[in-house]
Amino acid sequence: MSKRGSIPRVDQARIRAWACVGAALLLSLGLKPNQALADDAGAVKSVFRAGAFASNITPPLGLPIVGNFNQPKATHVHDELHARCLVLDDGTRKLAFAICDSVGIPREVFDEAKKRAHEATGIPVEYMLTAATHSHSATAAGGHKPSASGEMEWTAYQKLLIRRIADGIRQANENLAPAQIGWGSADVPTQVFNRRWHMKEGTRLPKPYGGVDKVKMNPSRGSASLVKPAGPTDPQVSFLSLRTTSGQPIAFLGNYSLHYVGGVSEGHISADYFAVFADRMQQHLKADRLEPPFVGIMSNGTSGDVNNINFKVPSPAKKPYEKMREVADEVADAVFKANQSIKFHDWVPLDAAQRELKLATRKPTPEQHKRALEVVALPESAKLELPHERAYAQRLVALHNGPDEVSVILQSFRIGDLGIAAIPFEVFTESGLAIKEKSPFQPSFTIELANGSNGYLPTPRQHELGGYETWMGTNRVEVQASEKIVATLLDLFKDLKSRSTSAH
């Protein structure tokens, strides 16, 4: 006989039966058993959840570090590289993000990683955004090729990347917990400068395969030949902030339209200012040694023509890693201050849209191809007139022999009233500003080098000016590509907006 006020004992079979009934009811509502609560009136409502994980993708020493024309072998790990992963869940849909410390990752590697993450989590691959940060002090992620059987032959590092990106998304999904979400922005104009400059008339600006440019990338600092920058900058740092319902930080995702900073010692592996920012945000938010661990993330915005060098004035020499710490500190200080006044939401709707877009690839003229073959055939000791002529001769031959078109993935994400676009190129700031202005979701921002790495994406206006980013081999797709991409992304955003309107 039970004591007064105690709950009568119920056999385990009956408990399991009622649990199954409850689970079936929630599933019929499109929810999972741990994603619903009842409000005071007894109505079932969705619970917003978030989970994060930083998956180590540091390569072994001895592999070449890419990002520049020389490729020294890695001899030292200054700071480890990561795939910083975030999963969001509104009770109906899950979105996954994996921001990887790499100069660029081929689509095939990301596709395989997403496929494996889907198999482990059930999250649809079109709801996953995977991107590189464009750190120039990391090992190459390319080098794969199809085998005779049609299966992909991955390099050892690609195998590691695929496994660790997939595992990172899987673990972030395992770490899902009831959460609150907010977003905001802060302006940091002092660290972004357009790196393409109009020069005084008479300045010689040869292309590596013939012809001349009207602008120069990275001119001499303080040069008397400087006239004006060739394009704008975007000083806005957009961010997404996640915390538990009790206020414990989960993750912080930033987005800044700034190229890598560099200033590393030769042979050093480093995640650049992206990782320093993540560390500073952990300090600001007092998020050290949490369970599960806090994950800071900085994604690269539309920075194809922007870096942190003020070319108008000479710059004193910096010690290794000094400049990237200065940049990360200022950015982290600004967004931490802005984070104090944002609104956190207990629940927001999530959605995503994806589309394949085919773009024509650029091809050299018959004359350019002939000259490129001649240059490639010359001995290494041969002296050439034009800068980087041998490197671009190899690239022109590759373009000539390569496919006539490329298919790229474009994505738009909706997180409440926030929009995120994903583009697999190094995108010029003009395109990013156009997306921010015209997106039906306000605010919006763009993550570049997402779901692939296809070179630079100048606008048609910038193509007319020339310069490094427009050279064939640096840019590999048709001149109108940026306009087609922006139009497609805005269409995807409109689709998401119309779906959210009809849902209400």
Instruction: Check residues 375 and 14 and name the one with the higher pLDDT.
Output: 375
* Cα angle: 305, vertex 496, 258; to 5 degrees: 15
Digit-coded pLDDT (tens) for 283-307: 999 999 999 999 999 999 999 999 9
Do 232 and 94 share a structural domain? Answer: yes
CA nearest to 416, candidates 490, 352, 350: 350
Other C-beta atoms within 10 Å of 392: how many? 23
Mean pLDDT value across residues 316-344: 97
What pLDDT was estimated at residue 69?
66
Instruction: Check residues 87 and 43 and name the one with the higher pLDDT.
Output: 87
Q: Tell me which residue range forms the domain holding 284.
A: 49-194+228-359+404-503
What pLDDT was estimated at residue 133?
98
Phi first, then psi: give them for residue 171, nearest 5 degrees. -70, -35
Mean pLDDT value across residues 465-477: 97
Residue 426 is assigned to a structural domain of this protein: yes
Residue 14 is assigned to a structural domain of this protein: no
Mean pLDDT value across residues 210-236: 96
In the predicted structure, residue 414 carries a pLDDT above the cut 60: yes
Query: What's the pTM?
Result: 0.90
Mean pLDDT value across residues 28-42: 47
Q: How would residue 59 be classed by pLDDT, with cut points 50, 70 and 90?
A: very high
Residue ranges with strand state E in 305-368: 306-307, 350-360
Do 387 and 244 share a structural domain? Answer: no
Q: Distance between CA 330 and CA 326 in Å, rounded?
A: 6
Do 276 and 258 share a structural domain? Answer: yes
In the predicted structure, residue 13 carries a pLDDT above the cut 50: no
CA nearest to 31, candidates 97, 88, 89: 89
What pLDDT was estimated at residue 6?
40
Do 171 and 114 share a structural domain? Answer: yes
Do 355 and 259 share a structural domain? Answer: yes
* Torsion-angle region of 134 (φ positive above 0: left; ψ -120 to 50: alpha; else: beta): left
In the predicted structure, residue 25 carries a pLDDT above the cut 80: no
Digit-coded pLDDT (tens) for 253-276: 999 999 999 999 999 999 999 999
**Residue count (the chain):** 504
Do 376 and 444 share a structural domain? Answer: no
Range of lowest pLDDT (35-39, 133-137, 485-489):
35-39
Digit-coded pLDDT (tens) for 137-149: 998 898 877 777 7
DSSP lists the bridge partners of residue 457 as 427
Residue 114 is assigned to a structural domain of this protein: yes
Do 451 and 307 share a structural domain? Answer: yes
Q: What is the DSSP code (8-state) at residue 504?
A: -
Do 380 and 321 share a structural domain? Answer: no
CA nearest to 113, candidates 160, 163, 187: 163
Summary mean pLDDT of the chain:
91
Do 380 and 273 share a structural domain? Answer: no
Domain count, the chain: 2
What pLDDT was estimated at residue 152?
83
Q: Distance between CA 259 and CA 67 in Å, rounded?
A: 12
Do 391 and 486 share a structural domain? Answer: no
Do 380 and 268 share a structural domain? Answer: no
Q: Distance between CA 255 and CA 396 in Å, rounded?
A: 33
